Structure 1
Amino acid sequence: MTRLMTTDFPAMKFSHPDITAKGERRAAVDFQQLDTLWINTGTLCNIECANCYIHSSPTEDRLSYITAAEVTAYLDEIATERLSTREIGFTGGEPFMNPDIFGMVEDVLRRGHEALILTNAMQPMMRPRCREELRRLKATYGASLRLRVSLDHYTEELHELERGKGSFASTMEGLRFLAREGFALAVAGRMRSGEQEAEERAGFAALFAREKIAVDASNHGSLVLFPEMDEKAEVPEITTACWGILHVDPESLMCATSRMVVKRKGEAAPRVVACTLLPDDLQFDLGSTLAESFRPVKLNHRHCAKFCVLGGGSCSAA
């Protein structure tokens, strides 16, 4: 690795945008094209998970509900600039708590984009009005509407260790509803420490077979297994030399082909950030428009290393 000729090395990891604590040049990811635009619908959620990637909860409103009109402005920019954006993803919090969710999703689908909604499939989604709206959108737009349900583990015990008592049964009820209705469906789980991926996929496959849920657990796009996140664990910094050492193509990382729109509480307008995991770190705030955001992203955060480069995590359905 190349060590920079300077004595001004940062004292702590992830504290300098260009230089690691060891004095090596920090890696960055160049923007390629906008394949996926994420919309954060707000950090309010019906539950509070033990290790929520974005720290959502029933009282956490630091990211406000974004409105359909605000989303329309970004969809208009995609159209005006003729961007080749395939997918618009909705994440939270719990997207079905946002009162404008169906207006936003239909705007996306009407324009010919695919819409992906990340949900825990619990009570907010299972309200009668929500179920009817989902059925209506499916009848009109078919498989262009996809839902990805968060099911942290195939066992009730380990899922509820993350999401709380009663959450497994509630999520399974929602998952069964989506499967019965024939929605384009995926599931997101978490890799547990000490459990091999093949073992976890086999466990999910048995659950899906038992519950008659048409999700292929062997398909990495249908069952997405995210790396376990421990914010206290030791994480290496990613240098420019790491691409070759780790055999990772920087163009494969999320920030090469995606951005996320957030509406911070108290701010007049939404902002565009580099990553679904980093809505609060202002060094990843890239501007108010999509065009402003199309610039390199320096991997100056532990999530960049742990989740994306080393963990191979990606929030996209691709």
Structure 2
Amino acid sequence: MKDTATQTANIGKFRNKLVTADGQTRASVALTNPKTLWFNTGTLCNIECVNCYIASSPTNDALVYISAAEVNDYLNQIEARNWPVREIGFTGGEPFMNPEMIEIARAALERGYEVLILTNAMAPMMRKKMRTGLLELRREYGPKLTLRISVDHYRPDLHDEERGCGSFAKTVSGMKWLRDNGFNMAVAGRSVWGDSEKDSRIGYAKFFSEYGFSIDANDPSKTVLFPEIDETVEVPEITTKCWSILGKSPEAVMCASSRMVIKRKGAKKPTVSACTLLPYSPEFEMGTTLAEAEEDVHLNHPHCAKFCVLGGASCSG
């Protein structure tokens, strides 16, 4: 269900799965190269950010904790469907809130996948159980494991403006622990303050240098700068003609290469969503199996245009 702001800004748009408001054929994206399977580990988080993409918080359990057994089932399906997946990604909420997070990550690592965990590197990750488990995973699987840390801005005051007073210091403390124990790290930043990409990367480079973090600020897969999603702003619908007009290919859009598994509160089974950004949009649920998730995705949401096609963003490394 789309929120009121989105409905107001885009009156008449994004209503028909196949046709845009002016009668043109809506663009769709085929799953041409499934290289990343995401799991939402649950929407509970230790903090509540001002502009969280999926409204994670200490009280939002709309998506409940996924279990290691459920993750293993989908890993089996990857093999059965012969998907050429190289990466398993875990997002939340805060993944380290999930009590089975270490077991879940191990399930993917022991099958040879690269594992990417999105985290704020704060208290949930720093619990003794999680630190012990992470150290075991690093010793056994080394470079196969990467933690992408949410550092919304390299300036502490701006980061804390988004995530709460003192958040920057707590995140840096977690990053220092990861640094000192030889973990691969990446960073995810935000563009909510309107910095240019050049200035942002210069700022992050200084931040990494100051703390001795081995992260390349100029590598978009290591320092990911996400465009903002303002749902009060009108965005164009993407038609089949847009690919040639924009000089873009549907194969470059995130849903050509990834899916996300979610588990709704009260549901008996997890389901597969077309997009990591749309876990609350039932029209983007594709079924409970990866076989069902092989259908084309029709770009029938403002996020499809703003974030993926026009913004060019991807959640994967």
Cα distance in 2, alignment partners of residues 247 and 35 from structure 1? 23
Which residue identity does 2:105 align to in structure 1? Answer: V
Match of 2:244 in 1: 244
Superposed, 1:170-209 pairs within 5 Å as: 170-209=170-209
Cα distance in 2, alignment partners of residues 288 and 261 from structure 1? 9
Match of 1:55 in 2: 55
Match of 2:271 in 1: 271
Match of 1:4 in 2: none
Instruction: State the identity %.
Output: 55
Cα distance in 2, alignment partners of residues 283 and 117 from structure 1? 26
Q: Note the alpha carbon deviations across 1:10-36, whole angstroms, 9 max, x for none.
A: 961111111212222211111113200
Q: Which range moved further: 97-106 or 20-29?
A: 20-29
- How much has 1:81 moved relative to structure 2? 2.7
Which residue identity does 2:122 align to in structure 1? Answer: M
Cα distance in 1, alignment partners of residues 295 and 308 from structure 2? 18
Which residue identity does 2:153 align to in structure 1? Answer: H
Q: Note the alpha carbon deviations across 1:161-207, whole angstroms, 9 max, x for none.
A: 21111111111111111122111110000123532100000000001
Match of 2:295 in 1: 295
Residue 282 of structure 1 pairs with residue 282 of structure 2: yes
Given that 1:193 and 1:228 are in contact with CA atoms closer than 8 Å, whether structure 2 keeps it comes out as no
Given that 1:114 and 1:144 are in contact with CA atoms closer than 8 Å, whether structure 2 keeps it comes out as yes
Superposed, 1:1-318 pairs within 5 Å as: 12-317=12-317
Q: Which range moved further: 263-272 or 18-27?
A: 18-27
Which residue identity does 1:41 align to in structure 2? Answer: T
Give 5+ residue unaligned stretches, structure 2: 1-9
Q: 1:171 to 1:259 in 2, by over 3 A?
A: same
Give 5+ residue unaligned stretches, structure 1: 1-9
Cα distance in 1, alignment partners of residues 242 and 175 from structure 2? 40
Cα distance in 1, alignment partners of residues 200 and 243 from structure 2? 28
Cα distance in 2, alignment partners of residues 161 and 24 from structure 1? 42
Which residue identity does 1:123 align to in structure 2? Answer: A
Given that 1:11 and 1:21 are in contact with CA atoms closer than 8 Å, whether structure 2 keeps it comes out as no
Cα distance in 1, alignment partners of residues 84 and 228 from structure 2? 32
Which residue identity does 2:54 align to in structure 1? Answer: I
| SS, match of residue 108 in structure 2 | helix
Cα distance in 1, alignment partners of residues 141 and 282 from structure 2? 37
Which residue identity does 1:178 align to in structure 2? Answer: L
Which residue identity does 2:243 align to in structure 1? Answer: W
Q: Which range moved further: 143-152 or 245-254?
A: 245-254
Match of 2:6 in 1: none
Q: Note the alpha carbon deviations across 1:257-295, whole angstroms, 9 max, x for none.
A: 100000000110000010000111111111110011101
Q: Note the alpha carbon deviations across 1:86-126, whole angstroms, 9 max, x for none.
A: 01100000000001111111010111111110001010001
| SS, match of residue 286 in structure 2 | strand
| SS, match of residue 286 in structure 1 | coil
Q: Note the alpha carbon deviations across 1:28-68, whole angstroms, 9 max, x for none.
A: 11111320000000000001111111111000000011111
Given that 1:264 and 1:270 are in contact with CA atoms closer than 8 Å, whether structure 2 keeps it comes out as yes
Cα distance in 1, alignment partners of residues 193 and 81 from structure 2? 44
- How much has 1:83 moved relative to structure 2? 2.2
TM-score when scaled to structure 2?
0.95
